[in-house]
Amino acid sequence: MYDFTGRNVVITGGAGGIGEACAKAFAGAGASVFLLDWSQASLDAAMERLAGAGTVRPMQIDVTDRPALDAVFDEIAAAGGTDVLVATAAIVKTGLILDFEPDTWSRILDVNLTGTFHCAQLAGRQMVAKGRGRIVTVSSVNGQIANTGRGAYSCTKGGVDMLTRLLAAELGDKGITANAVAPVPVDTPMVLQVHGPKDRALWEAQIPAKRYARPEEVADAVQFLASDRAGYINGHILNVDGGFMASGVLLR
C-alpha cells in the first residue's frame, strides 16, 4: 500500500511490541529500517522474527545516553540520514502519586520524554538538512486523561504530546511533519507487565471496541502519518483507541 523505498526509518524501542510491528510494516514497504533498542536480547529475538521482512539493522542503544546516540545518528547520517523517526522507546511503572518513588519518577521521565527529545532533535537536524522528514511519536491516551495509578508515565506522555506539537510548529516550514499516535492498551510485552486479568476486564468494559489494540493496528496509523499521503497533517495526536476517547459511560 505504501512505498518507502530509499527511505531510512529509525525506530526507537524497535524490539518492543509496537516498534517491531512498525519495523515489519516499514521494511515490508521497502524502507531501510534502523532498529534501536537497549535490550540486546530483545533485539536478537526481534531480528529472528523479522527474518525475511526486508532491510532491518539492529543497533543496541539506550535513548538516555546522548553521547552514544550522537554516534548512532552519525552512522545513520553516513547511510543517508533519517527520513522517518518513529519514537516508541518507553518504560512504565504503575503507582499512585503519593506513593511514587522519586528515583523511578526521574528514570521514567528520562527515558520516555528526554529520550524522545534526544532522538527527535538528532533526527530532526538530519531532516532539516534533507529538506523533508516525518516524526511520529508513540504517545498514549494516558497523556490526555488521568487514569489513576499511571503516575510518571502519564506525565511523560502529556509531555511527548507537547514536544510533538512544538516540533510540528518549529519544523513545519522545512518539509517536516511531527505527529503522535495515542493508543489505548495494546497487546504487547509492556501491557503484560502492568495489566492483570482485573485491569483487562476493566479496560475492555470501557472501550467501545471491547478489546485491546493489536500492535499492527498502531503500526498502520504510524505508517500513514509517515507517508507522503499525510503531508498536510502536522501536530496531530491521532488516538488509536477503539473509540475510548470519544465515549463516556457505556450503557448496554
Residues with catalytic roles: 153
Total of residues contacting ligand NAD (CB under 6 A)? 29
Is residue 17 close enough to count as binding ligand NAD by CB under 6 A?
yes
Q: Which of 6, 80, 172, 189 binds ligand NAD (CB under 6 A)?
A: 189
Tell me the window of 11-19, 71-79, 223-231, 243-251 that interacts with ligand NAD (CB under 6 A). Answer: 11-19
Residue 140 contacts ligand NAD per CB under 6 A: yes
* CA 216/CA 202 separation, integer angstroms: 23
Identified binder of ligand NAD from the candidate list 59, 63, 108, 180, rule CB under 6 A: 63
Q: Which of 9, 10, 11, 15 binds ligand NAD (CB under 6 A)?
A: 15
User: Does 186 interact with ligand NAD (rule: CB under 6 A)?
Assistant: yes
Given 2, 7, 10, 13, the residue binding ligand NAD (CB under 6 A): 13
Between 64 and 144, name the residue whose CB sits nearer to ligand NAD: 64
Binding string, 141-180, against ligand NAD, x = CB under 6 A?
----------------------------------------
- CB 66: neighbour CB atoms within 10 A? 15
Work out whether 91 is an interface residue with ligand NAD (CB under 6 A): yes
Of 4, 8, 10, 16, which lies in the binding site for ligand NAD, with binding defined by CB under 6 A? Answer: 16
Interface residues toward ligand NAD, by CB under 6 A: 12-13, 15-19, 37-39, 42, 62-64, 88-91, 111, 115, 138, 140, 183, 185-186, 188-191
